[in-house]
Amino acid sequence: MPATYSNEGKIITTLRDLELPARNFVDLAKSLNISISHGRFSEALNDKARLDEETGTTLIELLSELSAVREKFRDIPINWGATERIATLVILERVTRICAELDQQPIAAQQ
């Protein structure tokens, strides 16, 4: 078992909290252009290898975004297997966040 405060440990904890299967998470990460393989991810979660720092940080950031999506839609069951749809939600949340940071309205809201 990876150390609790390592990237791998944080990932395991968040996956468990979200009830998000590791396989679906890797598929989701891949659909968002994060370079990770199922084998490498499995080895990292089973403490047989380590994720490089950049990949670990990127995956933790994605999990943070997924937690925000989960919280926003807490009354709606999420099918984590629908990775393309979840990826679309993540992208829409990114656009919304960036628009808020720039004090702009999303394009759809401007019409």
pLDDT digit string (tens) for 88-101? 999 999 988 888 88
Question: pTM value?
Answer: 0.85
Cα distances (Å, whole numbers) of residue 84 to 7, 32, 110: 25, 9, 26
Q: What is the DSSP letter of 14?
A: H
Model confidence at 109, pLDDT cuts 50, 70, 90, reads: low
Q: How far apart are CA 46 and CA 17, in angstroms?
A: 18
* pLDDT above 90 as % of the chain: 72
pLDDT tens for residues 18-68?
Answer: 999 999 999 999 999 999 999 999 999 998 989 999 999 999 999 999 999
pLDDT score for 98 = 87
Please say whether the beta carbons of 60 and 10 come within 8 A.
yes
